[in-house]
Structure 1
């Protein structure tokens, strides 16, 4: 069999796997949202759905803006993270691919109106939908002449000391984050984009996640029972976002990257059977927080700030606890806070009967070295590492926003 035949077969096999996986997202009861004919007007801000909508029902986030939605947007209940290898033959085809993704995302996010009675019961808007596109380091090889335009800090994700990475679930040319309030919206977008981009990109790996409701209040919990994402920068503060999340023209990056952000994805499996045998008091020492309330060990409420200056020897909050290593709260680490946007995943059972539960860790930052990588090095060998295994993911650069109806994803990157 010739090379062209092998590539064609791989492409066909990849597409079949892509669509098969798309159809099996847990809980998806329906996959259609009507025809892609008419669509409604957009609201004006990324931070909240359109007027008259509410979290958990239908709502629309805007597509156009200086930054992509899905980063500072209020976290939706469900998410799909997909990495792709680009199959475009040259830069012209790559540009066509990005324009097609833009056109379809613009339509899908605005929502559609049913054109006949048979689909009248289906949602008329896309359910708080956001579609967020990023590029990986491999896109900047010699295929498309983009090597000189690679974001300065964009590299393949390294393997950190406690990782057990599976190459089949790492890296990729593109990353696509699809978030919505119900899982059928995520599946619908995947199917529609697969249909519209046939032959131009091939799925490399995929992870689906969900955001647990707060119990009883505050941040949601992961499958190890502790609250996740309590400490995050203020997404309503443009000053805070400019300091920690958005790439700026003055940062030494290529000019086209301004308004984008570095995305880190990590597929983290929890060894829950071992974790469940650890007494709660010991679990709290490992995390540095109370399991019931989420409060730091020297506080009473979830949002209380730990005061490590009063505990230099770690008698209250152990020096090797997760929260103390991740955020030491020193002057030197003040600019290392990152914006977390993670989701739980449930992969069922392994062949040996072990539960496959974990976290699709997702974060955004201005500087992936200063923020994520530096934090990860501090966490090396922490006690929690005995119970978690990072198995996949990647570094990506989320493109600046599509500014208006004449703009498209990656226009600054691809325009000559």
Structure 2
């Protein structure tokens, strides 16, 4: 990333920029950074319609500060690096606050295509480790967004936050078909990084991990590519690894009424510090690719409830035609099977419940059986976790369950966006 000062450079969040503790992390945290590269991650790329037509996508930059955190309704980017962190033993409330301040300062800079500090990768003393790892030198912002969340486990006596925990923020209940790996689930904190260049995404998590040295460490992470949902009207609906268009009926960024009703925590909701925030669910869903690939096309269509080529519901029309669940074939059978994914997940069959999805494909090599270790890294934002719980329980009879396994999971409270001069999550401590 270039280090060229200009009027668009982010304003530091506190007078000295990054804290002394954060600088110490940069100096001695190289070992912790290695954990990021080995554990995997994800980056999401987003562009506005205007930017897509008038600006080089690589140069697209989103302000870190705002009413809501970036990376929720911003146009979905092409790459994801997701990481969950646990706070270190013997850390206190001041450590947590300074970490969030340091992360905010660095994130505001990186989101504008700058290095994490003014001295960056090569501007400091040659006799000391550089402040920035340097692999993003020369790269623009590439639509980078960095989104932070707080897990249920953060709200305990360690940091005096037990009384501030949202009532709805509990570990997700067990669902039918779960085969969760505890080492790839949950976490005190989460960071969702999305960008249109995978190097930019990995650079962000790598440097946030270094900054956290001595205060927090990565619990698990996941890389993702090839968005599987859209959040803007002009974007084409992407396909998942089963070959089907995914996210056709997703909530879009310009549908403010739907966002207010289904995604953003309202001022009257509890607790007050969450107003303007949301709740993030992450689910790592392994797809049994080889078994799916041997299923005949008509059966695949029946399981999904859509035409694989056009993306149209099996009741007829085009991709964006509303499914007609009353439509029947010549034999009187429903055209959209009642156990299909579309039928079970549709708002019409779930009391109108909607969520905003931002999922990604992942391929993590192969298993010890020689099969693809691949699937969907599902991400959704909703006003209340109960929306996701209700939908997931509705999918207990989903015909697709035979071909997927949920192997990772987590829920985090995503606070509202930070105001300039403050830091993400500041309302939690006031």
Category of TM-score, reference length = shorter chain: 0.7 to 0.9
Q: Does 1:374 align with 2:376?
A: no
Tell me by how many angstroms 1:299 deviates: 1.9
Q: Compared with structure 1, are the counterparts of its residues 372 and 238 closer, same or farther at alpha carbon in structure 2 (3 Å cutoff)? A: same
Gaps of 5+ in 2: 1-28, 123-133, 230-234
Q: Compared with structure 1, are the counterparts of its residues 245 and 310 closer, same or farther at alpha carbon in structure 2 (3 Å cutoff)? A: same
For 2:48 and 2:419, locate their aligned partners in 1 and report how far apart those are by CA, in whole Å: 13
Tell me by how many angstroms 1:25 deviates: 6.0
Q: Does 1:110 align with 2:125?
A: no
What are the within-5 Å matches in structure 2 for residues 282-361 of structure 1?
A: 282-311=299-328, 315-330=334-349, 333-334=351-352, 336-361=353-378
Q: Does 1:65 align with 2:66?
A: yes
Q: Which residue of 2 aligns with 1:10?
A: none
Q: Which residue of 2 aligns with 1:221?
A: 239
Q: Which residue of 1 aligns with 2:130?
A: none
Tell me by how many angstroms 1:227 deviates: 1.1
Question: 2:143 aligns to what SS in structure 1?
Answer: coil
For 1:260 and 1:411, locate their aligned partners in 2 and report how far apart those are by CA, in whole Å: 12
Question: 2:221 aligns to what SS in structure 1?
Answer: strand
CA deviation string 1:210-253 (max 9, x = no partner): 11699xx93111111111111111321222211110001212x1
TM-score by length of 2: 0.81
Tell me by how many angstroms 1:91 deviates: 0.7
What are the within-5 Å matches in structure 2 for residues 395-410 of structure 1?
A: 395-404=411-420, 406-410=421-425
Tell me by how many angstroms 1:209 deviates: 0.3
CA deviation string 1:115-166 (max 9, x = no partner): 99x99x9535321100000000000022111011112211112220111111
Alignment RMSD: 2.9
Q: Which residue of 2 aligns with 1:100?
A: 102
Per mean C-alpha deviation after superposition, the further-off stretch among 92-101 and 312-321 is 312-321
Question: 2:218 aligns to what SS in structure 1?
Answer: strand
2:76 touches 2:227 (CA, 8 Å); kept in 1?
Answer: no
What are the within-5 Å matches in structure 2 for residues 81-160 of structure 1?
A: 81-87=82-88, 89-112=91-114, 122-123=137-138, 125-160=140-175
For these two proteins, the number of residue pairs brought into alignment is: 377
Pick aligned residue for 1:182 from 170, 187, 197: 197
Gaps of 5+ in 1: 1-13, 29-44
2:81 touches 2:222 (CA, 8 Å); kept in 1?
Answer: yes
Q: Compared with structure 1, are the counterparts of its residues 16 and 128 closer, same or farther at alpha carbon in structure 2 (3 Å cutoff)? A: same
What are the within-5 Å matches in structure 2 for residues 14-53 of structure 1?
A: 16=31, 18-22=33-37, 49=51, 52-53=54-55
